[in-house]
Amino acid sequence: MYIIAGLGNPTAQYAGTRHNVGFAVIDVLSAAYGIAVDTRKFKGLIGRGMIGSERVLLVKPQTYMNASGECLREVLNYYKEDISRLIVIVDDINLEPGQLRIRGKGSAGGHNGLKSIISQCGSQDFARIRVGIGEKNPRQDLADYVLSHFSGEEREQMDAAYSLAAKAVRSLMEDGLEAAMNLYNRKVQA
């Protein structure tokens, strides 16, 4: 079984913010594959189902971004799944809005949600799909930026990115890491 986790912050005040792109991708997967993500368990919201021929568990940690690893450690332990079966979807300020970057493992790259997962699970060996949210203004506070909402124009671009990220999740599972990276690690078309 694959565990597909989209990172974000719970509660309505954070819905649609830059930091919640992981939740948005889980919502796209939920709708596309008819998987209700509404069971409260493991400090998160989860939903079990199928994507293609793969059994999956969709997860939205409800611990706030900086403690996402607590939820995912509990999920991995309960289902006795290896961390290599985890796919994490996160925001990235170093990528243009809507651009994707898939990696099979690596450091947190300054992302507190990834730091928490690495710390709690004791490994960097899990796939991640980074979804670009664009760079902040140099005078803007990072927290204020990632907790801000997208403009109308950006929202269209991000909706397309969420759909693309959902396709990238399926490609990662069915085609493998290299193929998914070749297909989806591209610059955004203007």
Q: How confident is the model at residue 156 (pLDDT cuts 50, 70, 90)?
A: confident
pLDDT at 135 over 90: no
Q: How confident is the model at residue 66 (pLDDT cuts 50, 70, 90)?
A: very high
Q: How confident is the model at residue 155 (pLDDT cuts 50, 70, 90)?
A: confident
Average pLDDT along the chain: 93
Q: How far apart are CA 9 and CA 170, in angstroms?
A: 24
pLDDT of residue 119: 96
Whether 118 and 76 have beta carbons less than 8 Å apart is answered as no
Q: At what angle do helices 152-175 and 21-33 cross, to 10 degrees?
A: 60
pLDDT of residue 152: 82
> Which residues are catalytic, by number?
19
- Per DSSP bridges, beta strands 2-6 and 127-132 are unpaired
Q: How far apart are CA 60 and CA 39, in angstroms?
A: 10
Averaged pLDDT, 48-65: 96
pLDDT of residue 146: 86
pLDDT at 38 over 70: yes
Please, what is the end-to-end C-alpha distance for the chain in angstroms?
A: 37
Pairwise pLDDT comparison (81 vs 187), residue with the higher score: 81
Whether 148 and 66 have beta carbons less than 8 Å apart is answered as no
Asked: is 2-184 a CATH 3.90.79.10 domain? The reply is: no
pLDDT of residue 186: 75
Q: Please report which helix (H) or strand (E) contains residue 87, including its range.
A: strand 86-92
Task: Tell me the whole-structure pTM to 2 decimals.
Answer: 0.94
> Is the dihedral angle over the CA atoms 145, 149, 153, 154 positive or is it negative?
positive
Pairwise pLDDT comparison (85 vs 157), residue with the higher score: 85
pLDDT at 190 over 60: no
Pairwise pLDDT comparison (34 vs 135), residue with the higher score: 34
